[in-house]
Structure formats: C-alpha cells, structure tokens
Chains A and B, each alone.
Chain A
C-alpha cells in the first residue's frame, strides 16, 4: 500500500510536470518544469532501489543539463522583455500521434505475459554496480569517455567565434 502511494505521488509529479514542459509558453518555465520532471525521475530511481543512479541523475541532469539549457535560452535571445515566449503548432495531429504511440506501447506491454509475471527481486549493493562497470563493461565505459571528450571538443569548435 505504501509503495502504491509513493509510486502514485511520484507518477503524478512526473506526468504533470512533463505536461507542463510541452504546454507552457514561457521558455524559461519550460526548462524549470523539465528540472522538476528530472527530479521526480530521480525520486522514482530511489523508489526502485537505484540510489546511485538517482545521485547521477540529480548531478548530471538537474545540475548539468538544466543549467546548460538555461544558458542556451539566455544566449539565443536578446533579453529585452522579461518573458521569452515560444509557440506550438499542429496540436491535433501531434495528439493523435502521441495517443497512437502510447496505445501501441501499452498493447505491447499487455501482450507479453512476462511483464505481468515479473516480481520484485532484490538487487545487489551499489558496490556491485561499480564492480560490473569496471570489469565486464570497461570497454564501453572507456568508449563513452572518448565520446564525451569528442562531444566537448566538438561543442567548443562549433560554438566558438571564428576569427576572420
């Protein structure tokens, strides 16, 4: 019962903040609603016994990505008014697409008998996650660090002012 209350609360926060992300007309508000969605997801990670991932989520997403987004908002608008408005278009078709996608995924979820039979299984401690990443998945981990380096250099090259 308690687990349901926690789940329902977190789901409500995530979904309502997510709806505000796609509905609000003020770009800065959109970014802050995104931050709330990401924090809600971190809470869901804690609920799912993934405390380390929750910390990573808060640090990288709400700390890094949201700050980057705010910088993006500020750098791409001349700040003359307080409100930075942006509009949407084609809502009816987009709602049809989103509902159709949700129906397809829900059908797939209910069609697979394994989903409803899955039971909560105890997870090993976070230490085991570290062991796994640095033994079994050490090659993807190193590749990922290369990718991040490439992305960083690429972003600097793209965004820097070119000297004449």
Chain B
C-alpha cells in the first residue's frame, strides 16, 4: 500500500472523486423539494463532470479537455440564469418554490 503513495495520485483517484461528487449531487437532486435547492444539486453534478474533463486533459497532455471544461462552465452559467428566471416566475404564479407546487397539468 505504501508503494501506491510514493507515486502522485493517478487518474483513477480523480475519476472516483468526481463520481462521488456526482452521486452526492444526484442524492440532493432526488431528495430536495425546493426548486432552487434542486438547481444547486444539479450544479454539483455539473461540477463533477468538469473535474473529469480537466483530469483527462492532465493525463493525456491534450488541451481539448480543458477547452471542453470551459465550454461546459459557460453552458452551466446559461442554465443557471434560465433556471433562476423560471424559479422566480414560479414563485410569482404559485407563491411557492416547492417543486410539487405547479400541478395544473396533473390529470
């Protein structure tokens, strides 16, 4: 085991860290009832994906991974902007941002 730690952490360590963060985000997205908190959990998952992309870039010596991560960050910002606008709209029409508040389309 001590032999493992003489080398710097390998790609597996980073991928496992990202997988853990992604699973935590999924747990949050499934359990939260507040629409804003669900959006925050989705942010966690997007963040985990960025860790993966940067780690791949570091271990292949190719900058494609980093530029993908940059595009992903910008896309996530756009997603957050629209998400918060929808949450504010939802608050205006339902006076609540619980995810189960809009039920007008329920049969």
Measuring CB to CB, which residues of chain A are less than 8 angstroms from any residue of chain B?
A: 1, 3-4, 7, 11, 14-15, 18-19, 21-22, 27, 30-31, 34, 37-38, 41, 44-45, 48-50, 52-53, 56-57, 60-61, 64-65, 68-69, 71-73, 75-76, 86-91, 93-95, 97-99, 101-102, 105-106, 109-110, 115-116, 118-124, 128-129, 132-133, 137, 140-141, 144, 147-148, 151-152, 154-156, 158-159
Contact = CB atoms under 8 A, between A and B. Distances in A.
A19 B14 CA distance: 18
B55 A48 contact: yes
Given A31-B40, A53-B54, A155 B21 contact: no
Contacts of A65: 43, 76-77, 80
A6 B100 CA distance: 42
Interface string B79-107: 11110111111010000010000000000
Interface of B: 5-6, 8-17, 19-28, 30-34, 36-37, 39-41, 43-44, 47, 50-51, 54-55, 57-61, 63-64, 66-67, 69-71, 73-82, 84-89, 91, 97
Contact of A115 (B12, B36, B40, B81): B12
Given A121-B59, A158-B86, A98 B27 contact: yes
A68 B63 CA distance: 30
A75 B88 contact: yes
A56 B40 contact: no
Contacts, number: 226
Listed from nearest, the 9 A-B pairs whose CB atoms lie closest are A121-B61, A22-B28, A3-B8, A151-B78, A94-B30, A86-B34, A88-B31, A158-B85, A118-B11
A124 B67 CA distance: 13
A152 B24 contact: no
B70 A133 contact: yes
B26 A18 contact: no
A71 B40 CA distance: 13
Contacts of B89: 158-159
